[in-house]
Structure formats: C-alpha cells, structure tokens
Structure 1
Amino acid sequence: MQTKKESIREEILRAAQKEFLLHGYEAASMRVIAKKANTTLGNIYHYFPNKEAILSEILEEPLEKLSKLVEDHLELQVRAYTMDEMLDAIREMDDLSNYKEFQYMLDERLLILFELRTTRFIEAREAFVKKFKNHMAWHLGMEDSDSPYIDILTSTFISCIRHVLLEHKDTEDAQKEFIKVFKMLCTGLVVNEQKL
C-alpha cells in the first residue's frame, strides 16, 4: 500500500512540474494538477498542505545543486587567471562531463525558479544571482558587482540557460548547446577585456 501512495505523490509532483513549466507557478491551477495527476484535489491536499509545499519539493534538489555549484566553483577563486589561461580553458571545453558543476545548470526546474514572482524562493534565487554577479566581477577585475555591465552579463547568462533548457530537451543536445553558448559568452568577455 505504501508503494502506491508514493507513486501517487510522485505523479502529483510530475504533473505540478509540468504545469509550473507550462503556465508558471503563480498561474498554475491545483485543479488542473489534480486532473493531470489522475487524482482529486482533496487527495493532493492529503500529500501536500498547499501549492508552495509542492514547489518546495520540486525546487529542493536544483537549489541544493546550485548551492553546490557556487561552493565548488568559488573554491577555484583562489587566484585571478590571465586572459590567455582563460581563453585556453574555454577552447578546451568540449564535454560537460569534465565540468560536472555546469551540469547542474541544465535542470529544467530552474526555469520555474527563474520565472517566480512570489514565494520565499525568490530570496534563494536572488542570493544565487548575487553570488554569480560577485564572481563575474571578480573574473573581470571589477570592484563593483552592481555595475550595469555585470547586470547585463548576468541577464545574458540566465537567458542563455533559459534558451538551452527550452530549445533542447535531449540532454546531450542541451549540453552541446550550453557549451557553445557558454564559450561564445566567455570568449567575448575575454577578448573584450584584452582590447581594454
């Protein structure tokens, strides 16, 4: 009996994730989620007290992975790299298996996180964005992580991730596209920095 209950719970989560991706968290309907999960609205509330509890369950893993990504990557922030070293590293990047932390960026649940307009998860997203901006500023040797240039780079990076996740459902294709877009973005930054 317990296995069946767990399967209903998982089906609710799957249906909710699809609904959140399709319509956004705020516009997602609990009735539609129940219908897509082949259960009743009352049964959903047996498993989850509210819609935010479902969101919390869906975002738990990607938020943990983002946190690990930031931790792991920021550990490498021991010394500044020369532009040539950065260009060499970017040119050699051809397989994400060598860059496990970047694979965390290819979780479609991040699309839900990026689009949130309410809930406590906005704070988690903004904390990640702030760390990313600080790291970008460090890479570029800028003291002001609130610079409009850092804002533009951050928005561009998030837009690139959004593009890859929306346009490439196949994991291998998504990884190739992410590498391509990441290389293009980073190479442009490095080349631009060399010209300055």
Structure 2
Amino acid sequence: MQTKKENIREDILRAAQKEFLLHGYEAASMRVIAKKANTTLGNIYHYFPNKEAILSDILKEPLEKLSKLVEGHLALEVNVYTMEEMLDALRGMDDLSNYEEFQYVLDERLLILFDLRTTRYVEEREHFIKKFKCHMAWHLGLEDSDSPYIDILTSTFISCIRHVLLEHKDSEDAQKEFIKVFKMLCTGLAVNGEKL
C-alpha cells in the first residue's frame, strides 16, 4: 500500500511540475494538476497542504544543487586566474561530465524558480542572483556588483540557461548547447576583462 501512496505523490509532483512549467506557478490550477495526476483535488490535499508545499518539494533538489554550485564555485575566488588560464580552461571544456557543478544549471525546474513572482522562493532566487553578480564583478575586477553591466551579464546568463532548457530536451544536446553559450559568454568576458 505504501508503494501506491508514493506513486500517487510522485504523479502529483510530475503533473504539478508540468503545469508550473507551462503556466507558471502563480497561474497553475490545482484542479488541473489533480486531473493530470489522475486523482482528486481532495486527494492532493491529503499529500500536500497547499500549492506552495508542492512547489517546495519540486524545488528542494535543484535549490540544494544550486547552493552547492554557488558555494563551491565562489570558493575559487581565492585563486586568481590570468585571462589566458581562463581561455585555456574554456578551450578544454568539451564535456560537462568533468564539470559536475555546471550540470546543476541544466535542471528544468530552475525555469519555475526563474519565473516566480510570489512565494518565499523569490527571495531565495534573488539571493543566488546577488551572489552570481558579486562573482561576475570579481571576475571583471569591478567593485560595484550593482553595475548595469553586471545586470546585463546576469540576464544574459539566465537567458542562456532558459534557451538551453527550453530548446534542447535531450540532455546531451542541452549540455553541448550550454557549453557553447557558456564559452561564448565567458570568452567575451575574458577578452573584455583584459581591456578593463
């Protein structure tokens, strides 16, 4: 009986994730989620007290991985790399299997996080974005992480992730495309950073 209950719970989460991706969290209907999960609205509330509890369950793993990526990558700020070292590292980046942390950004559940307008997760998303902006400022040798240039780079990076996740459903294709856009973005930063 426990297996059946867990299957229903997983069906609800899968249906909710699809609905959140399609219509956004705020516009997603609990009735539609119930219908797509082949269960009743009342049964959903047996497993989850509200829609935000479903969102919490969906975002738990990607947020943990994102936190691991941010903390691990930001720890590297103690090492200062020359532009040539960065460019060499980018030239050698052909496969994300050597860069486990970058695979964390290829989780389509992050699209839900990017699009949230309400809930406590907006604040958490902004926390990650602020850390990313500080890191970009560090890479570019800028003291002001609130620079409009950093805002543009941050928006571009998020747009690149969004593009990869929406346009490349096959994980191998998504990884190749991510490497391509990541190299383009970083190579431009490296070249422009040398001019600063």
Q: TM-score range by the shorter chain?
A: over 0.9
| Matched residue type, 2:195 | K
Shift of 1:74: 1.2
Normalised TM-score (structure 1): 0.99
Shift of 1:189: 1.1
- 2:79 equivalent in structure 1: 79
Write the deviation string for residues 8-54 of structure 1: whole angstroms up to 9, x where unpaired. Answer: 00000000000000000000000000000000000000000000000
| Matched residue type, 2:150 | I
- Cα distance in 2, alignment partners of residues 79 and 123 from structure 1: 29
For the residue of structure 2 that corresponds to 1:80, the secondary structure is coil
Shift of 1:193: 2.0
Aligned pairs for 1:19-168 (under 5 A) are: 19-168=19-168
| Matched residue type, 2:3 | T
| Matched residue type, 1:71 | E
Shift of 1:194: 2.3
Normalised TM-score (structure 2): 0.99
Paired residues in the alignment total 196
For the residue of structure 1 that corresponds to 2:118, the secondary structure is coil
Gaps of 5+ in 1: none
- Cα distance in 1, alignment partners of residues 117 and 75 from structure 2: 31
Moved more, 10-19 or 77-86: 77-86
- Cα distance in 2, alignment partners of residues 123 and 61 from structure 1: 17
- Cα distance in 2, alignment partners of residues 12 and 31 from structure 1: 11
Shift of 1:79: 2.2
What RMSD, in angstroms, separates the aligned Cα atoms of the two structures?
Answer: 0.7
- 2:3 equivalent in structure 1: 3
- Cα distance in 2, alignment partners of residues 41 and 97 from structure 1: 41
For the residue of structure 2 that corresponds to 1:146, the secondary structure is coil
Gaps of 5+ in 2: none
* Identical columns (%): 87
Shift of 1:71: 1.1
